[in-house]
């Protein structure tokens, strides 16, 4: 059993908009952090909603912990921690009261672990959470998500309200979480530097479709952004071209194997930021890389 989550051919068309999730297929290996990258409206939250059952899909298969998810029985949710970009706890409660309530909701609520995170994150136990800043709210949501024997952590823009110090601290917690190889994280973020720091695998989604999925190592070692004149494109093996766009009269391309590029071509960049930009703004070649 090597994948904690397997999503296969998920399709969804919203009745109230033209947006579609198209054949979303990916898996999350045990012990890994998967970065889910896409611009606003690409379909990241919809995909997470589909997995959690809050969004009803048209078809597709989702296996968690090696079993098809049974949405009529919520037991599997015990082991799934979820953090969205907003906090869901009643504003008039404090952290002690929230812990008490959650100990009735989650069979495996770990009070000790929870208060350990609360201490680590320097959150006040007796203040009403409604007065928390955005960063404090996110820290609280993350502490909760980590404290019920969680095996799969799903985070949708969960680091976006944090200052650089808090963000680093949380990224360290995430790395620690997957260290024993029995747990995994699916992390959507606009902040590619966070994903670059901790992700093992990357999934890029655009307009409801996965356009590229690969390991971070493969991406940073072998992919590159190059520029050339349109007349030179014939010198490049078309099979390695992932995405392209025209920029200042030149053709800018993302290639999947920089070692196949003739030495006369200049490698412009191979940072995750630049690669993401070209994937999002360029035209992607169908097929081989998703
Ligand atoms: N209930 C709904 N009915 C109709 N369309 C919807 C609904 N929810 C989301 N959409 C549309 O689905 C598309 C994808 O939205 P989604 O929230 O999944 O994207 P996202 O990648 O998470 O974006 P962001 O980064 O801005 O959070 C958007 O165009 C959105 O308008």
Mean pLDDT for 273-290 is 78
Query: Which atom of ligand 1 approaches the CA of 14 most closely?
Result: 4
Question: Which tens digits make up the pLDDT trace of 262-279?
Answer: 988 888 777 888 899 899
d(CA 198, CA 179) in angstroms, rounded, equals 12
Nearest CA to ligand 1 atom 16: 43
Nearest CA to ligand 1 atom 25: 40
d(CA 110, CA 224) in angstroms, rounded, equals 45
User: Which residue stretches of the chain are H helix?
Assistant: 44-52, 95-105, 111-120, 134-145, 164-178, 192-198, 216-222, 272-281
Question: Which tens digits make up the pLDDT trace of 126-183?
Answer: 999 999 998 899 999 999 999 999 999 999 988 877 888 888 999 999 999 999 999 9
Binning the chain into helix, strand and coil, the percentages to the nearest 5 are 35, 30, 35
d(CA 24, CA 288) in angstroms, rounded, equals 15
Question: Which tens digits make up the pLDDT trace of 75-115?
Answer: 889 999 999 877 789 999 999 999 999 999 999 999 999 99
What percent of the chain has pLDDT above 70? 98
CA of 19 to the centre of ligand 1 (A): 8
Query: Has residue 189 got a pLDDT over 90?
Result: no
d(CA 219, CA 250) in angstroms, rounded, equals 23
Mean pLDDT for 11-21 is 93
C-beta 19 within 6 A of ligand 1: yes
- Grouping H, G, I as helix, E, B as strand and the rest as coil, residue 37 is strand
273 exposure class (CB count in 10 Å sphere: 0-12, 13-18, 19+): exposed
CA of 67 to the centre of ligand 1 (A): 27
Substitution site in 13, 21, 45 for ligand 1 pocket (most atoms within 8 Å of beta carbon): 45
CA of 290 to the centre of ligand 1 (A): 21
Higher per-residue confidence, 1 vs 183: 183
Whether the CB-CB separation of 61 and 9 falls below 8 Å is answered with: yes
d(CA 166, CA 162) in angstroms, rounded, equals 6
Which pLDDT belongs to residue 127? 96
C-beta 270 within 6 A of ligand 1: no
Query: Which atom of ligand 1 approaches the CA of 39 most closely?
Result: 25
Nearest CA to ligand 1 atom 15: 41
- CA of 36: how far to CAs of 20, 47, 225, in Å? 17, 10, 20
Pairing of strands 80-83, 152-156: parallel
Query: Has residue 289 got a pLDDT over 60?
Result: no
Q: Which helix (H) or strand (E) holds 36?
A: strand 33-37
What percent of the chain has pLDDT above 90? 71
Pairing of strands 33-37, 184-188: parallel
Mean pLDDT for 38-59 is 94
What would the two tokens of residue 248 be? 């200042």
CA of 156 to the centre of ligand 1 (A): 13
d(CA 82, CA 181) in angstroms, rounded, equals 19
**Which residues on adjacent β-strands are paired with residue 36?**
188, 203
**Which residues on adjacent β-strands are paired with residue 269?**
225
pLDDT band at 192 (very low <50, low <70, confident <90, very high): confident
Nearest CA to ligand 1 atom 30: 41
Whether the CB-CB separation of 31 and 183 falls below 8 Å is answered with: yes
Query: Has residue 72 got a pLDDT over 90?
Result: no
CA of 210 to the centre of ligand 1 (A): 15
Higher per-residue confidence, 184 vs 289: 184
What would the two tokens of residue 10 be? 């998920």
Whether the CB-CB separation of 189 and 45 falls below 8 Å is answered with: no
C-beta 17 within 6 A of ligand 1: yes
C-beta 16 within 6 A of ligand 1: yes
C-beta 65 within 6 A of ligand 1: no
Whether the CB-CB separation of 183 and 30 falls below 8 Å is answered with: yes
Complex confidence, ipTM: 0.96
Total residues belonging to the chain: 290
CA of 36 to the centre of ligand 1 (A): 15
CA of 196 to the centre of ligand 1 (A): 24
Whether the CB-CB separation of 208 and 43 falls below 8 Å is answered with: yes
Whether the CB-CB separation of 202 and 37 falls below 8 Å is answered with: yes
Q: Which helix (H) or strand (E) holds 227?
A: strand 224-228
CA of 86 to the centre of ligand 1 (A): 16
């Amino acid at each position: 059993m090597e994948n904690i989550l397997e999503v296969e051919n998920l399709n969804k068309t919203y009745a109230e908009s033209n947006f579609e999730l198209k054949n979303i297929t990916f898996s999350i290996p045990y012990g890994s952090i998967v970065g889910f990258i896409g611009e606003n409206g690409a379909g990241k939250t919809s995909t997470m909603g589909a997995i959690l059952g809050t969004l009803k899909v048209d078809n597709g298969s989702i296996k968690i912990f090696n079993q098809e998810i049974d949405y009529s029985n919520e037991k599997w949710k015990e082991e799934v921690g979820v953090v969205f970009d907003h906090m869901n706890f009643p504003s008039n409660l404090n952290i002690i009261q929230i812990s008490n309530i959650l100990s009735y909701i989650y069979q495996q609520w770990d009070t000790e672990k929870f208060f350990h995170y609360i201490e680590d994150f320097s959150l006040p136990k007796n203040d009403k959470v409604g007065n928390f800043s955005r960063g404090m709210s996110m820290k609280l949501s993350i502490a909760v998500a980590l404290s019920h024997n969680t095996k799969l952590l799903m985070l949708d823009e969960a680091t976006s309200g944090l200052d650089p110090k808090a963000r680093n601290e949380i990224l360290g917690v995430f790395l620690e979480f997957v260290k024993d190889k029995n747990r995994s994280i699916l992390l959507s973020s606009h902040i590619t530097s966070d994903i670059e720091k901790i992700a093992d695998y990357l999934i890029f989604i655009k307009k409801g479709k996965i356009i590229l999925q690969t390991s971070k190592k493969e991406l940073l070692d072998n992919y590159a952004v190059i520029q050339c004149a349109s007349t030179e494109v014939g010198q490049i093996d078309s099979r390695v071209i992932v995405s392209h766009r025209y920029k200042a009269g030149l053709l800018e391309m993302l290639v999947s194997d920089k070692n196949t590029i003739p030495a006369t071509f200049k490698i412009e960049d191979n940072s995750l930021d630049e690669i993401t930009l070209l994937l999002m703004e360029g035209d992607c070649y169908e097929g081989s890389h998703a």
